[in-house]
A and B are shown apart, each in its own frame.
Chain A
Amino acid sequence: MKGFIYFAVIVGLVPVQSVVLSHVSLWGVKPDLGFVAVCLVGLIAGELDGLLVGLALGWAMSLFSAQDLISSVVLKGTVGFLAGLAGRQVVYLSPVVLVIGLLVVSCLAGLIAPFALKLNAQQDWWWATWTVVLPQACLDAVIGGAIYWLMWSRLNIEQLMSESRM
């Protein structure tokens, strides 16, 4: 069942990210739903699930991007694994804390990306920070926080976390 849900998330997220979000992007920047999904899976289901979903989602998303496979897979997998580790250390996680956490982690991942992707000299660190990294981190944090708040208010998230890690 869990595998089917992960498969559905991966298959569903890529078209949404590629087709739908291109129409609703803000200032030409769209949120990375894959990053948000990997973080949430890692937090709720643990580091192994986070890692595997991150690897699979990074691979699937790289097929529809000019981004190379390795950087996409490694970045998403690492984020999922780290989210799982972080989730293991906390007993209670409020939506506000999650939003701040997503903002910080998205910024860090975004700052690594220009170096990992070996972009053109025009796309320097300063440009990347203000044009892509910060707006995307804000969007990721807002969307991730909203999804987590919905889950937090509708489901017993602590029980879900403990059950899914068993």
Chain B
Amino acid sequence: MRMVNLRAPYNARRVALVLAVILVLGFLLLPGQLQSIFQQVGSPLGWIISWPLQAVAGIHDRIAGIWGRYVDLQGVEEENQQLKRELDLLKEQNGQLREASVATERLSALLEFKKQVLPTSVAAQVIGRDTGNWYKTIILNKGASDGLQSDQGVITPAGVVGRIVKTTASTAVVLLVTDPNNAIAGLIQRTRDEGIVEGTTQGQARLKYIPLLSNARPGDHVVTSGLVGGFPRGIPIGTITRIDKEEEALFQSAELSPEVDPNRVEEVLVIQSSSIPAEGERLGVPKHKP
């Protein structure tokens, strides 16, 4: 076997290196015209080489196309399915998180309201509606065993919901403020005129027995008066939408739009009667000393 002798004599190597440098520099320094000559001389060779090159390139492209359109699509299909599953999962999680976020906001507001206003109230969830069609009631998941009793007021941070009319050990029935058979002592916040709020058959509420001289008008807010019933003073009941003044009547009445939509209530606070501050306590009147 013939071996290449790389151990050339020092002078020969030195001469070859110098020639190579000169060649490179010569090509670099060669004028443009001479460069095009080399290009033209080499073009037939390039044309010959271009045939197999194009063929291989074509095959490559064909294979790449087949791979991309069919074989690789299987992965895309799987990936697509996977992404769809992930999307569904994320949508579901997003829905749950939104619901949790809304519930957290609602419960936080309820808790804050409870801390600020009614330290001894009981929080309860709505679990059902009246079994009949004659009364508008909701059923709570707390009952007598949790300290709930008849005539206790039921509220949300938005306002009055109703009052308890019946309890079992673990449930309570709340007659809604929109039921015509309910009656809550109300007060027009601006004019300080008092009356009785009862529901209407249209699902609204009505403030009755407003003095004739009252200048109540639509837009006025009605709150609990705190005189009777299981509510402290100042809990919102509704906003006056219309004043009804009949001739020769002793009183006028007002139609109210309730602050709380009873059909959308999910959590409520039940005011325990002992937690309602007396009028003197509320106004900060000092107690008499014996």
Q: Which residues of A contact B (CB under 8 A)?
A: 14-15, 17-19, 22, 28-30, 32, 34, 61-67, 72, 113-114, 117, 119-120, 122-123, 127, 131-132, 136
User: CB distance B173 to A64 under 8 Å?
Assistant: yes
- A-side interface mostly: helix
> Nearest Cβ in chain B — how far from A81, in angstroms?
20
Distance to closest chain A CB from B260 (angstroms) = 17
Q: Give A114 Cβ to nearest chain B Cβ, in Å.
A: 8
B93 contacts the other chain (Cβ, under 8 Å)?
Answer: no
Q: Can you list the 4 inter-chain pairs with the closest CB atoms, starting with the nearest?
A: A18-B128, A66-B135, A120-B180, A22-B129
Q: Chain B residues near A15 (CB, 8 Å)?
A: 128
CA distance A18 to B135 in the complex (A): 12
Contact in complex: B180, A123 (CB < 8 Å): yes
Hey, which chain A residues are within 8 Å of B200, CB to CB?
Answer: 122
Count the B residues whose beta carbon is within 8 Å of the partner chain — how many?
A: 23
Task: Give the docked Cα–Cα distance between A61 and B129 (Å).
Answer: 11
Q: What is the CA–CA distance of A136 and B134 in the complex, to the nearest angstrom?
A: 11
**Is A18 in contact with B134, judged by CB distance below 8 angstroms?**
no
Cβ–Cβ < 8 Å partners of A22 in chain B: 128-129
B182 to chain A, nearest CB (A): 9
Task: Compute how far the CA of A136 lies from the CA of B180 in the bound complex, rounded to whole angstroms.
Answer: 20
Cβ of B225 within 8 Å of any chain A Cβ, yes or no, is: no
B124-165 vs A, CB cutoff 8 Å, 1 = contact: the mask equals: 000111111111010100000000000000000000000001
Are the C-beta atoms of B129 and A113 separated by less than 8 Å? Answer: no
- CB pair A132–B128 under 8 Å, yes or no, is no
Query: 10 more A-B contacts (CB under 8 A) besides A17-B131, A18-B129?
Result: A19-B127, A62-B131, A63-B171, A66-B134, A66-B135, A66-B181, A114-B134, A120-B198, A122-B180, A131-B201
Given the known interface contacts A14-B131, A61-B131, A119-B181, the answer about A127 and B173 at a Cβ–Cβ threshold of 8 Å is no
Taking a contact as CB atoms under 8 Å apart, the answer to whether B129 and A119 are in contact is: no
